[in-house]
Amino acid sequence: MLPDHVANKIAAGEVVGRPSSVLKELVENSLDAGARQIDVEVSAGGRKLVSVSDDGSGMGRDDALLCIERHATSKIRDLPDLDTIETLGFRGEALAAIASVSQFVLVTRLREAPAGAEVVVTGGKIQEVRETGCPPGTSTQVRNLFFNVPARRKFLRSEQTEFSHLRQMFVELALSHPEVGMRLIADGRELYRLAGNSSREDRLRDLYGGDFVLALKAVRMDDGLTFIEGFVGLPEISRTDRSEQHVFINGRAASAPVIAHAVGEACRSMFQKGRHPAVFLYLKMDPASVDVNVHPAKKEVRLRQPAQLRDLLIAAIRKSLSLDISAPSADRWPWNKQAEAPPRARDTTELFPRPASSSPPPVAYPRAPMAPPVAPAPSQTVVKAGTESPLQTAVSGRSPWTWRRYLGKIGGRYVVLETDEGLVLLDPQAAHERVLYERLMGEVLNRNVSSQALLTPETVELPPRDAIRVRNNLEALKRMGFGVSEFGQDTFLVDALPAYLSGARPAALLTGVAEGLEQGGSRAGVERWVEEAIAQAACRAAVKNRASLSEPEIEQLVDDLAHSDMPYTCPHGRPTVIFFGLDELNRKFGRI
């Protein structure tokens, strides 16, 4: 049997990796205690001091002594409680682990008690317990972390690095509970003073600024089992890493592979490769469907129904970024085996109105007849700033501008537009790719895909594993426009292809379908593959940069882009427009 002090230090290696881990555990205890105000003070990147004070319920003397014992907790009582955990802490290890590797002082008082209790612990050994005067709540000071474990202390990074982790942890905790006031003081300097009783939007504005909030779109969806609410950022505030992706399940910052996968899938055709969206999602679900007892530091959760959550997250984010999408992906995708109902009726103001004939409209602007310039329809008008809150303004319409005027070209390539709020540079090729992509996707979603027969049917032999996946999805492939049938064993006969893929090799297409199925599951795999195929088709068909466009053609392209679901990027994530606001121009010319 290991002695307690050794066991505590081993546990500290799992629970307390660095000062930010200490901050997380102490603030979560404050939140569980019902605190409405939490003050955090750190020194030397948390190496010398991490202090957390709250106005929560506090503790009596006996509980103050018991809470620093290993596996002592007030959060659960028996084994069944693990199935319905609603608190942030529950393991009863954090305070014991922290106290074993630091100089630890706990001061606490019950609201109805005349005096509080102070407990001083050094390296896991209680040095002093005394009565003291203090306000209701709990204050915890952790000094000289890892002072008695030199091997761990030398693995800490520089003060700047450790403080950046502390700051990021503080922001995450502040985002998770905007109703709680929070303050951060670093080396005697106040960095954050966040008001309590804030909305999520107000908390985001306090932490990131008003311009950042303007680039967010609201997310909201409910399937009866999981309620999703929050925000997702437009491509203009995307990042090269995932540091601004925050997901909270029942108030707990949570990570799970399926969540990261869902965010990536939802934004794949809207963000440039290597760029990741800013995401702030708040999920409410039955605690029994989430297992938080996976990691000692509670860094990861396990979900009982990950596939359903993945599909709901993808649908919610896509609905937010692309306002024309109104149903979960299980209903949207016509090749889903369970979606045998007639196609969903589209809006009467369809994105790409079709002529009376069933043939697809022309898709290349230099060859297509252009309509005269028209003013944007009222339904596409963005609400002027100041009439609503900034976040409502950011999500109230599809068009990137209220009013615009064509000025000319730069370098024979980029289009210059004047808008009501500044200057816009437009890449015609990227814009045309987005317009064509949504037109082709509209055909697929409406089950109106045109097929083109091959002059000579082609036989395709697939490896056994790929053949099984294709065989199980033959009906889905036919609804996508493929003429494909089994031809014995692992061989298939292809006699028609979707019109938007004409000219491609059937063998490569079926292999691509099989690879997509392997990566994403049956429906998600086909969905991912066909989106990429349509994006490639749009890229091939789009007007090239050096093509000469007349002014009416440019006007039509700009109007079509304004009517698209995601006017800011091409299907591969490259920007279609770059905006220079009047405020930015005034600053550059020294007028502000």
Coil, strand or helix at 482: coil
Domains held by the chain: number: 3
**One domain for residues 592 and 461:** yes
User: Cβ(56)–Cβ(28) under 8 Å?
Assistant: no
**One domain for residues 256 and 184:** no
Domain assignment present for 321 = yes
What's at 39, amino acid-wise?
A: D
Sheet holding 414-419, edge to edge: 404-410, 414-419, 422-426, 577-581
**One domain for residues 317 and 395:** no
Residue of higher predicted confidence among 383 and 6: 6
Distance CA 81, CA 508 (A): 53
What's at 461, amino acid-wise?
A: E
Q: Angle between the 257-267 and 306-321 helix axes, to the nearest 10 degrees?
A: 30
Q: Which of 145, 175, 195 is the last residue of a domain?
A: 195
Q: How does the average pLDDT of the chain come out, rounded?
A: 78
DSSP 575: B
**One domain for residues 210 and 182:** no
What's at 444, amino acid-wise?
A: V
34 pLDDT above the threshold of 90: yes
Q: Which residue has the tokens 């001091």?
A: 49
What's at 69, amino acid-wise?
A: E
Percent of the chain scoring above 70 in pLDDT: 75
For 590, what's the count of Cα atoms within 13 Å in the CB-facing half-sphere? 0
What's at 126, amino acid-wise?
A: I
Distance CA 577, CA 400 (A): 9
358 pLDDT above the threshold of 90: no
> Which band of pLDDT confidence, cut at 50, 70 and 90, is reported for residue 326?
very low
Strands 245-249 and 451-461: unpaired
Q: Which residue has the tokens 């905007």?
A: 178
**One domain for residues 408 and 520:** yes
Q: Which residue has the tokens 């100041």?
A: 386
270 pLDDT above the threshold of 50: yes
**One domain for residues 453 and 377:** yes
* Across 15-19, 161-165, 292-296, least confident range: 292-296
* Across 37-51, 252-266, 478-492, 514-528, least confident range: 514-528
Name the β-bridge partners of 579.
Answer: 424
Q: Which of 195, 221, 240 is the last residue of a domain?
A: 195
Coil, strand or helix at 231: strand
Q: Which residue has the tokens 């053609």?
A: 553
Domain assignment present for 351 = no
Domain assignment present for 364 = no
What's at 500, amino acid-wise?
A: Y
**One domain for residues 524 and 382:** yes
DSSP 241: S
Domain assignment present for 233 = yes
The neighbour count for residue 260, using CB atoms within 10 Å, is 15
User: Cβ(485)–Cβ(493) under 8 Å?
Assistant: yes
> 469-473: long-range contacts (C-beta < 8 A, 24 or more apart)?
469/513, 469/514, 469/517, 469/518, 469/522, 469/525, 470/510, 470/513, 470/514, 470/517, 472/522, 473/335, 473/513, 473/517, 473/522, 473/526
Domain assignment present for 69 = yes
Domain assignment present for 71 = yes
Residue of higher predicted confidence among 410 and 389: 410
Distance CA 141, CA 137 (A): 14
Amino acid 480: pLDDT: 75
Distance CA 277, CA 268 (A): 10
DSSP 289: G
User: Cβ(312)–Cβ(526) under 8 Å?
Assistant: no
Distance CA 229, CA 319 (A): 12
Amino acid 469: pLDDT: 76
**One domain for residues 64 and 115:** yes
75 pLDDT above the threshold of 50: yes
**One domain for residues 214 and 135:** no
395 pLDDT above the threshold of 50: no
User: Cβ(576)–Cβ(569) under 8 Å?
Assistant: yes
What's 444's domain CATH number?
3.30.1540.20
The mean pLDDT of 51-67, rounded to a whole number, is 94
Length of the chain: 592
What's 227's domain CATH number?
3.30.230.10
DSSP 25: H
* CA neighbor of 110 nearest in space, from 77, 70, 69, 74: 74
Q: Which of 174, 195, 216 is the last residue of a domain?
A: 195
Give the highest mean pLDDT range of 341-345, 419-423, 505-509.
419-423
Amino acid 524: pLDDT: 55
Domain assignment present for 341 = no
**One domain for residues 379 and 436:** yes
- The structure tokens listed for 430 are 């990227």
Coil, strand or helix at 150: helix
Name the β-bridge partners of 458.
Answer: 494
Q: Angle between the 428-445 and 551-562 helix axes, to the nearest 10 degrees?
A: 50
The mean pLDDT of 256-284, rounded to a whole number, is 86
**One domain for residues 269 and 294:** yes
**One domain for residues 183 and 208:** no
Q: Which domain holds residue 271?
A: 202-332
Distance CA 20, CA 98 (A): 12
pLDDT digits (tens, 9 = 90+) for 5-32: 676 666 666 678 899 999 999 999 999 9
Where do the DSSP E strands lie in 269-403? 279-285, 290-291, 302-303
Domain assignment present for 41 = yes
* CA neighbor of 24 nearest in space, from 175, 183, 169: 169
Distance CA 115, CA 411 (A): 76
> Which band of pLDDT confidence, cut at 50, 70 and 90, is reported for residue 210?
confident
CA distances from 583 to 135, 439, 522, 579, 591 (A): 47, 35, 49, 11, 9
Distance CA 524, CA 311 (A): 9
What's 42's domain CATH number?
3.30.565.10
The mean pLDDT of 72-77, rounded to a whole number, is 69
Name the β-bridge partners of 142.
Answer: 50, 104
